[in-house]
Amino acid sequence: MINLILFLLAYIVMESVAYLTHKNVMHGFLWKIHRDHHIPGKTSKSFFQKNDLFFLIFATPAIILILAGFLSGASWMLATGAGITLYGFTYFAVHDVIIHNRIPVNIHFRNNYMTALVKAHQAHHNSKTPTDFRSFGLLLFPRKYFK
């Protein structure tokens, strides 16, 4: 039971980690890496963006926890690493596949939550300067986007 709680807690906490990292790191001192995500095609002709390097920042703790958990038999490490990994998969599926269509799939959602999620992300991308951005979260965002 404790491992399930740790798994879910890790997943939930990652939204705050992603929000804070996006706001303070990606739009802060590592803007040069994140910038190409906001201006696709103008800074890179490749499928990949410099911004994709942030995957390593988020994946590294999960990989370390999972490996350490396997090697030491500490199931709490496995559960925590798995929760972080599931959030990473969710982020990839929602952000890169559904919102930005970087891997083309024909998925159309007709529910209020997904519509609001896409609106919030579009509002984030409509900002013009690194300091003008709003809505840094992925799964949680201001209520006003539900209108």
Query: Which two tokens mark 45?
Result: 């002709």
Tell me the residue type at 41. G
| Global pTM value | 0.87
What is the reported pLDDT for 45? 62
Query: What count of other Cβ atoms lies within 10 Å of the Cβ of residue 11?
Result: 19
What is the reported pLDDT for 20? 94
DSSP 137: -
CA gap 78, 31 in Å, rounded? 32
As a three-state string, the secondary structure of 64-114 is HHHHHHHHHCCHHHHHHHHHHHHHHHHHHHHHHHHHCCCCCCCCCCCCHHH
DSSP 24: I
CA gap 132, 71 in Å, rounded? 45
Could you report the per-residue pLDDT of 14-61, keeping only the tens digit for each? 999 999 999 899 989 998 998 888 875 554 567 788 888 999 888 999
The arithmetic mean of pLDDT across residues 76-87, rounded, is 98
What is the reported pLDDT for 129? 65
What is the reported pLDDT for 131? 65
What is the reported pLDDT for 18? 93
Band the pLDDT of 126: cuts 50, 70, 90: confident
Q: If you average pLDDT over every residue of the chain, what do you get?
A: 88
Could you report the per-residue pLDDT of 106-117, keeping only the tens digit for each? 877 788 999 999
CA gap 41, 103 in Å, rounded? 16
